[in-house]
Amino acid sequence: MSGATITVLCLALLALSACGNTARGFRQDGAEAGHALDDATHRVLKSTSK
């Protein structure tokens, strides 16, 4: 393999791992936002039922 091929493969691997980290981060952020919304909803419903 030539040096250029190895360089291109390494850059592609780096880009793919960055995309995986970004997707994982979006999933975690979405889950945290969902939990925060659920907690806020429960607090509002609890305060209005008193």
Cα of 28 vs its chain's centroid, Å = 5
Kindly report, residue by residue over 4-25, the tens digit of the pLDDT. Answer: 999 999 888 888 888 878 888 8
How many Cα atoms occupy the beta-carbon half-sphere of 12 within 13 Å? Answer: 6
Say whether 2 sits in a helix, a strand or coil.
coil
22 or 34, greater pLDDT: 34
Q: In angstroms, rounded to a whole number, what is the distance separating the alpha carbons of residues 21 and 29?
A: 12
